[in-house]
Amino acid sequence: LAKTTQPISMDSYEGQEVNITCSHNNIATNDYITWYQQFPSQGPRFIIQGYKTKVTNEVASLFIPADRKSSTLSLPRVSLSDTAVYYCLVGDKWDNYGQNFVFGPGTRLSVLP
Amino acid sequence: DSGVTQTPKHLITATGQRVTLRCSPRSGDLSVYWYQQSLDQGLQFLIQYYNGEERAKGNILERFSAQQFPDLHSELNLSSLELGDSALYFCASSSGGGQNTDTQYFGPGTRLTVL
């Protein structure tokens, strides 16, 4: 099972870029890296997914180095509404379905005015 | 709005009782997942169904059971409830069978309070 490690919490100010790094040293060849966002009392929401190099969508960017042992979620110009918990998930082997759904403690991002 | 619906939104019951939580997946999604989130445990995967069949099992207690019906909605049954079962219960759905590239869409959750 690919275990992930993220900072427990981060603080930022409105308008700044925020980078949250996730370590996954034993990532497997077939694993993808997926990030979810969760607001209080709501279900997690998919943000972005990638396999290698860089992925960008309208919400965030995901940077994955060549060795894939870590990944960085980048949120450009955060606002107060980006205050949430961010989870990094790394899938296990293709057929170990149940082990794909391990949400760690996540990173609690607080955006200050 | 993710397209996943869950009922009821809130549920208050007593220890020893049994409750049923209901989930309707997004249109076209074949997989349904159940998660439990409590303050001290984080988000815990319980069980997954794919097209009516159990596909994966996580940290689900023997007092808990689930099923997915032919119309693809799912129910999570919690029995002999204990105070520690108080939590938010989320249902999620995806189009695939749970591969690591599947995006899961989460419902709004059911808040269960056991008194």
Output helix, strand, coil percentages for chain A, rounded to the nearest 5.
5, 45, 50
B31 Cα to chain A: minimum distance (Å): 11
**Cα(A43)–Cα(A36) distance, integer angstroms:** 10
CB-CB neighbors (< 8 A) of B108 in chain A? 42-43
**Strands B5-7 vs B19-24: parallel, antiparallel or unpaired:** antiparallel
How confident is the model at residue B79, as a pLDDT? 97
How confident is the model at residue A31, as a pLDDT? 84
How confident is the model at residue A92, as a pLDDT? 57
How confident is the model at residue A11, as a pLDDT? 97
Q: Does B93 touch chain A (CB under 8 A)?
A: no
Burial of residue B79 (number of CB atoms within 10 Å: 0-12, 13-18, 19+): middle
Shortest CA distance to A45 belongs to which of B2, B110, B97, B22? B2
Q: Is the pLDDT of residue A55 over 50?
A: yes
Q: Is the pLDDT of residue B5 over 90?
A: yes
**Cα(B78)–Cα(B3) distance, integer angstroms:** 24
Note whether B109 contacts A98, CB cutoff 8 Å. Answer: no
**Cα(A12)–Cα(B8) distance, integer angstroms:** 36
List, for residues B50-100, the tens digit of each pLDDT value. 999 998 888 799 999 999 999 999 999 999 999 999 999 999 999 887 777
Q: Does B109 touch chain A (CB under 8 A)?
A: yes
Q: Does B90 touch chain A (CB under 8 A)?
A: yes
Q: Is the pLDDT of residue B27 over 50?
A: yes
Note whether B99 contacts A97, CB cutoff 8 Å. Answer: yes
